[in-house]
Amino acid sequence: MMSTGRRRSGLSTGSNGCTSRVSPAARSVLGMTTHQTPLERHPIRRAAAEVTAAVKSVAGLDAVFMTLADKQAALVELAQARDLLESLWLRQLAGSADVAEQDGCRDIAAWLATHARIDRPTAAAQLRTATALATRWRQVETALADSSVNTGQARVIVKALETLDEALRADETVLNREELLARAEAKLIELADLHGPRDLARLAESILTIVAPLVAEEAERRALEAAERRAAATTRLTLRRRGDGSVDLHARIPELAAARLKTYLDAYTSPRRDSLTNGLTDPATGERLPAERLNGDAFVALLEAIDPTRLPQYGGKATTVVVTITEEQLRTGLGVATTSDGTLISVDQLRRLACQAGIIPAVMGGKSRVLDLGRRRRFHTKAQRLALVISIATCQAEGCTVPAAWCEVHHHVPWSRGGRTDLDDARLYCSHHHHRAHDPAYTTTQTPDGRTRFHRRT
């Protein structure tokens, strides 16, 4: 009974928070009858009716059968008509806040979503543009109404002006902000006579340089510094193993670093290199490999070409990748090799990597360098560190998972007490546990699995 009563009284409940009695305007939108004659309607409503009737009158005509000259003229004329109608639509949006209030909607965008079946985000974006034109950027509104700019250009100009306004507000040294904005608005409208939305957007990025060069230079410097700080703060790189022999790499880096990376990758993927080596095509099909594959292969090649001696010290030694394999496996080509971080690779891959800088094959059972130095040196050598990393994956303190490459070598028997710089007397500890090993407030005991357990003295 309540549902029937609501329908009879003209109440409507929308999905966007509108629950109210349908207004006369809404009845018109929904096709409901009104008592107004066409001459009694507002001129804007009469214009809408005339446009609708005119468009319906040609709805059945096929543009294919028009002459070339008519098609050319119609494309321009319809584009102008569309922009004029869009201008009128935006002005109507800006002046119809009371419609939403009357029907209890959050805003006119919600009202349109309910009564005109317009997607709410789309209506909300149009409402923002309409409000900006009506309350702030009146020169653009006028230019849109007289067809000096089209709707695409108007949106570009409004966005550029609001961005500029925000930047000028943040600059306390700018005293004539409104004057600068007015000059920028006029100049962008002038540029719209020669440039489409895309080119106009690029010009808008430097509009302050055009209307106020001295102000722009300082503002650009501050904006650039702020952008660089944001880029540095948001720099990220993550590696996620997929479990199929590949790794997903996701990164966000500053533009300058990205430009350098692109330059390096282009060196590997240039068309000239392709013509010389035929290395950028699929040998099976003869077709050029997709750009994503080429960039991926180039990135891998770039990593393999890095000279480790030019990199920062990593765990007390030059950055080095160690691959462990037995002598028999290397000789027969059977089995797998293991990198210092636990990654498994084939013997063929190892043989290839052994030719690259920074890849050291640790052949178990073959000849090796002298690793025990006794009392001849106090500090452990790079070769000793490599030997320790091969056999020990993490810090040797119980429960610690810091990678061995990040650890420091510790004399189990202190050098000052006659300790020897030999592998049997060496321990790998992270910085935290290395300090604990030298802290007299702690005692240490060795667990059966070779780990070190720390105890605070009481």
What does the DSSP assignment read for 157-172? HHHHHHHHHHHHHH-T
Cβ–Cβ < 8 Å for 182, 207: no
Q: What is the amino acid identity at position 5?
A: G
Q: Enter the pTM of the model.
A: 0.42
| Count of alpha carbons within 13 angstroms of residue 137, beta-carbon side | 32
Confidence of residue 189 (pLDDT cuts 50, 70, 90): very high
Q: What is the pLDDT of residue 170?
A: 74
Cβ–Cβ < 8 Å for 239, 247: yes
Q: How do the domains of the chain map onto residue ranges?
A: 68-224, 254-305, 323-361, 367-457
Q: Tens digits of per-residue pLDDT, 369-386?
A: 434 433 344 445 666 666
Q: Chain-wide mean pLDDT for the chain?
A: 75
| Rounded-to-integer distance, Cα 8 and Cα 205, Å | 56
Q: What is the pLDDT of residue 234?
A: 93
Which of 246-260, 336-350, 353-367 has the lowest average pLDDT?
Answer: 353-367
Q: Where are the alpha helices (DSSP H) in 375-453?
A: 382-391, 431-437
Confidence of residue 67 (pLDDT cuts 50, 70, 90): very high
pLDDT at 76 over 80: yes
CA distances from 77 to 4, 321, 383 (A): 49, 68, 80
Cβ–Cβ < 8 Å for 371, 387: yes
Phi, psi of 315 (to 5 degrees): 65, 30
Confidence of residue 292 (pLDDT cuts 50, 70, 90): confident
Q: What is the pLDDT of residue 420?
A: 59
Residues 244-266, mean pLDDT to the nearest whole number: 88
Q: Tens digits of per-residue pLDDT, 382-431?
A: 666 667 766 777 888 888 888 877 787 887 665 445 555 556 677 888 88
> By percentage, how much of the chain surpasses pLDDT 70?
67
Position with higher pLDDT, 267 vs 7: 267
